[in-house]
C-alpha cells in the first residue's frame, strides 16, 4: 500500500459556514505542525494527546490564511487507522482551496477518490462490504436505505458472511486433514454429514439472497408505474403526488406519448414514479410506441398504480388489464370521484383481490389513502424493516448466488458418490466467492485453520 500522506477537502466545494481539510498518513501531524500556529507559540501538535482539538491559525510561510480549529487523531484510532488531522476552517471555496494547497506544499499529496476509505479497508479497520456501505450511506435517499447502510457499516452483513465461511472452512480443513492423515481422521459417513451441513449453509445463503430485491427497493426506491387507459387521470395523479404540474393535462385522449419519470419521498420510502401512455389499441405509430413502452415498464415495475375513470364504464380493456395485474403488486385507483360515479369500489373488488382506493386527483382528495396503502404494502407488508440483514449491493448478490451454485455442486458430488477431494474444489470456490464480499483471502485462512484446529503433531 502507498504510504504517502494524503489530503483532501472533505466538505462540499461551495460557500458554507464550515469547511474541513482532512490529512492522513505517517507524516500527517508533522505536516500540520508546519502550517499550524497556536496562540501559544511553543505548542506543537506532535506533543499533544490524541483526540484533542486545538485553536489557532493556518499560515503559508508568513501569510496568515485562516483562523481554524484542528482535530488531532493518532493511529490506530482514526477513520483510516493512521495518524490523521482535520482542519476546520471557514467554508469559502477560495480559503479551503488555499489551505489545501498549503498542506500539499508542506509535504502531502492530493488523495485519490475514495482513498481515505480504501486505507481504512487496507489497514484492517473495516472490511470490503463495510467500505462499500460508506458510499451507500452518502447516497441514501430515505430512512430505510440509511438504516440498511448503517447496519452494513456496523458489520451485520459481514458477520453473516463470516459465519457461513467459517462453516465451509471447517469442512475444507477436515477433508484436507483426513486426506493427509487418514489414520487419525476418518471419512466414514462423512459425505452424509457434510451434505446436511452444506444444506444448512445453502438455506441461510438463500434467505440472504432473497432479501436482495427488498434491499434494492430500500436503497434505490420503488419503481412505480402509473398505468391506465387514455384520459383516466394518470398525469393528474402524477401531478397530485408531486405537488406541482409536471405532466400536461388535457381532455384530449393520448396526450402522454412517452414515459415521464419523477421521484418522490413518501413516509420514509422513495418512489420512482413513471407516468405512461394510455393503454389502448391505436393505429398512431408514435402512440403505439408509447403504449409498448408503458407495458414494458409495467412488466419490470415493483408497483403498478392502475387508474380507472370512475365516472365512466369499465370495458374489456379494463378487464384485460385487471387480469394482467392479478399476479403483480398493484393498487387500483378509482379516479374522478368529483364527478358522478358509475363505478364503485365494490364493483372492482368483485373482479380482483387488489386494494382499491377512490380519489379525485383534480381536487387532491384520497391521495393520503393511496400513500398509506403504499406504505402498508412495502413496510407493514412484505418489507417489514427490522434487524434483518438486507443485501443491497448487486456485486454481493452475484457473489452469494455463485457461492450457492458451488455448494449445490458439492451436494451433487456427494449424490454421485465422488471422492472426497472433489468436494474441496467447489467448497473452496464457495468460500472464495463469499470472501470477495468482505475482501478476505483464502489460502492463509485455510492454513491457519488446519494448524489451529486439526494439529497433526508434526
Q: Is 236 annotated as a binding residue?
A: yes
Q: Is 107 annotated as a binding residue?
A: no
Please give the full DSSP string across 84-146, using - where no structure is assigned. EEEEEEEE-HHHHHHHHHHHHHTT-EEPPTTHHHHHHHHTTSS-HHHHHHHHHHHH--SHHHH
Q: Is 387 annotated as a binding residue?
A: no
Question: Which of these, 190, 10, 226, lies nearest to 100 by C-alpha position?
Answer: 10
Q: Is 442 annotated as a binding residue?
A: no
Q: Is 125 annotated as a binding residue?
A: yes
CB burial of 163-175 (b: ≥16 within 10 Å; e: otherwise) equals ebbeebbebbbbb
Please give the full DSSP string across 232-291, using - where no structure is assigned. SSHHHHHHHHHTS--S---SSTT---S-EEEEEEETTEEEEEEE-------S-HHHHHHH
Q: Is 408 annotated as a binding residue?
A: no
Q: Is 277 annotated as a binding residue?
A: yes
Q: Is 275 annotated as a binding residue?
A: yes
Helix (H) or strand (E) holding 357: strand 356-358
Q: Is 458 annotated as a binding residue?
A: yes
Q: Is 224 annotated as a binding residue?
A: no
Q: Is the dihedral of CA 321, 322, 323, 329 positive or negative?
A: positive
Q: Is 68 annotated as a binding residue?
A: no
Q: Is 254 annotated as a binding residue?
A: yes
| Separation between Cα atoms, residue 307 and residue 244, nearest integer Å | 19
First to last CA, the chain: 35
| Separation between Cα atoms, residue 316 and residue 207, nearest integer Å | 41
Q: Is 278 annotated as a binding residue?
A: yes
Q: Is 231 annotated as a binding residue?
A: yes
SS3 (DSSP) at 2: coil
Q: How many Å is the Cα radius of gyration of the chain?
A: 30
Q: Is 30 annotated as a binding residue?
A: no
Q: Is 233 annotated as a binding residue?
A: yes
Q: Is 19 annotated as a binding residue?
A: no
Backbone angles phi, psi at 209, to 5 degrees: -65, -35
| Separation between Cα atoms, residue 136 and residue 134, nearest integer Å | 5
Helix (H) or strand (E) holding 57: strand 52-60
Half-sphere exposure of 303 (CA within 13 A, CB side): 28
Please give the full DSSP string across 131-179, using - where no structure is assigned. HHHHHHHHH--SHHHHHHHHHHHTTHHHHHHHHHHHHHHHHHHHHHHHH
Residues forming the annotated binding site for K(+)? Answer: 231, 250, 252, 255
Which residues participate in the annotated binding site? 22, 86, 125, 231-236, 250-256, 275-278, 458
The annotated binding site for (6S)-5-formyl-5,6,7,8-tetrahydrofolate is made up of: 22, 86, 125, 458
Tell me the binding residues for GTP: 231-236, 250-256, 275-278
Amino acid at each position: 500500500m502507498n504510504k504517502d500522506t494524503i489530503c483532501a477537502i472533505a466538505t462540499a466545494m461551495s460557500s458554507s459556514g464550515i469547511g474541513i481539510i482532512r490529512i492522513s498518513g505517517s507524516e500527517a501531524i508533522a505536516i500540520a505542525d508546519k502550517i499550524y500556529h497556536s496562540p501559544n507559540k511553543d505548542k506543537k501538535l506532535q506533543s499533544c494527546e490524541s483526540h484533542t482539538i486545538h485553536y489557532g491559525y493556518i499560515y503559508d510561510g508568513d501569510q496568515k490564511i485562516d483562523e481554524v480549529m484542528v482535530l488531532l487523531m493518532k493511529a490506530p484510532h482514526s477513520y483510516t487507522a493512521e495518524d490523521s488531522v482535520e482542519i476546520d476552517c471557514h467554508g469559502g471555496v477560495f480559503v479551503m482551496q488555499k489551505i489545501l494547497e498549503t498542506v500539499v506544499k508542506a509535504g502531502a499529496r492530493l488523495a485519490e477518490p475514495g482513498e481515505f476509505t480504501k486505507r481504512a479497508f487496507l489497514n484492517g479497520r473495516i472490511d470490503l462490504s463495510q467500505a462499500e456501505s460508506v458510499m451507500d450511506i452518502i447516497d441514501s435517499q430515505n430512512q430505510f436505505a440509511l438504516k440498511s447502510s448503517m447496519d452494513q457499516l456496523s458489520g451485520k452483513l459481514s458477520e453473516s458472511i463470516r459465519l457461513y465461511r467459517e462453516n465451509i472452512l471447517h469442512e475444507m480443513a477436515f477433508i484436507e486433514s483426513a486426506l493427509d492423515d487418514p489414520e487419525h481422521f476418518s471419512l466414514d459417513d462423512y459425505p452424509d454429514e457434510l451434505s446436511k451441513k452444506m444444506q444448512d449453509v445453502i438455506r441461510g445463503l438463500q434467505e440472504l439472497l432473497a432479501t436482495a430485491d427488498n434491499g434494492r427497493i430500500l436503497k434505490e426506491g420503488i419503481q412505480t408505474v402509473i398505468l391506465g387507459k387514455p384520459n383516466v387521470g394518470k398525469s393528474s395523479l402524477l401531478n397530485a403526488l408531486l405537488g406541482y404540474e409536471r405532466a400536461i393535462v388535457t381532455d384530449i385522449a393520448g396526450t402522454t406519448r412517452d414515459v415521464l419519470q419523477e421521484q418522490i419521498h413518501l413516509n420514509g420510502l422513495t418512489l420512482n414514479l413513471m407516468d405512461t401512455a394510455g393503454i389502448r389499441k391505436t393505429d398512431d405509430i408514435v402512440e403505439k410506441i408509447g403504449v409498448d413502452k408503458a407495458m414494458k415498464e409495467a412488466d419490470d415495475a415493483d408497483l403498478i398504480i392502475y387508474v380507472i375513470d370512475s365516472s365512466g364504464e369499465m370495458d374489456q380493456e379494463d378487464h384485460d388489464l385487471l387480469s394482467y395485474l392479478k399476479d403483480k403488486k398493484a393498487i387500483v385507483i378509482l379516479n374522478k370521484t368529483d364527478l358522478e360515479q358509475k363505478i364503485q369500489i365494490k364493483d372492482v373488488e368483485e373482479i380482483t383481490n387488489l386494494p382499491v382506493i377512490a380519489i379525485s386527483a383534480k381536487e387532491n382528495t384520497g391521495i393520503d389513502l393511496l400513500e398509506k396503502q403504499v406504505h402498508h404494502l412495502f413496510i407493514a407488508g412484505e418489507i417489514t424493516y427490522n434487524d434483518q440483514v438486507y443485501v443491497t449491493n448487486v456485486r454481493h448478490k452475484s457473489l452469494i448466488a455463485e457461492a450457492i451454485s458451488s455448494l449445490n455442486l458439492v451436494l451433487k458430488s456427494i449424490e454421485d458418490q465422488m471422492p472426497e477431494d472433489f468436494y474441496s474444489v467447489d467448497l473452496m470456490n464457495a468460500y472464495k466467492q463469499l470472501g470477495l464480499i468482505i475482501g478476505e483471502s483464502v489460502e492463509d485462512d485455510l492454513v491457519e485453520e488446519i494448524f489451529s484446529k486439526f494439529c497433526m503433531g508434526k
